[in-house]
Amino acid sequence: MAYGYLVVTMNITDPERYKQYMAEAPASVKAFGGEYLVRGGKHETLEGDWKPHRVALLRFPSYEKAKAFYDDAHYTRVRSHRAGATEYFNMVLVEGVEAPIF
């Protein structure tokens, strides 16, 4: 079964308010078998016009687990903590490849 990945870009405008979201989000991710592969850190655009301020990448055991995480009542409540804390928050769910990675 292929992993499910959440690719997230955001611009945090209220770091104090965003801390409330980050205090609770990791437990929700873990509850569905997810893990953070990228959470902030150095990045640069190599091609195109994409200029995200901050990037996160999460991996779940499957596409369905990632979707269940997002739709979960607890995470819905957790998401409310970031309201007003970002200029934008984009999240895309994508299914990974099943082929082995070399």
Strands (DSSP E) contained in 1-53 are 4-12, 35-39
pLDDT digits (tens, 9 = 90+) for 69-82: 999 999 999 999 99
How far is 36 from 26, CA to CA, in rounded Å? 8
Q: What is the share, in percent, of the chain residues with pLDDT greater than 70?
A: 97
How far is 67 from 92, CA to CA, in rounded Å? 10
Half-sphere exposure of 27 (CA within 13 A, CB side): 10
Query: Which pLDDT belongs to residue 87?
Result: 96
Q: Which two tokens stand for residue 63?
A: 């596409």
- Give 55's pLDDT tier (boundaries 50, 70, 90): very high
pLDDT digits (tens, 9 = 90+) for 7-42: 999 999 999 999 999 999 999 999 999 999 999 999
Query: Which pLDDT belongs to residue 101?
Result: 64
Query: Which pLDDT belongs to residue 98?
Result: 83
Half-sphere exposure of 60 (CA within 13 A, CB side): 22
Query: Which pLDDT belongs to residue 43?
Result: 93
CATH domain 4-43+53-95 topology: Alpha-Beta Plaits (3.30.70)
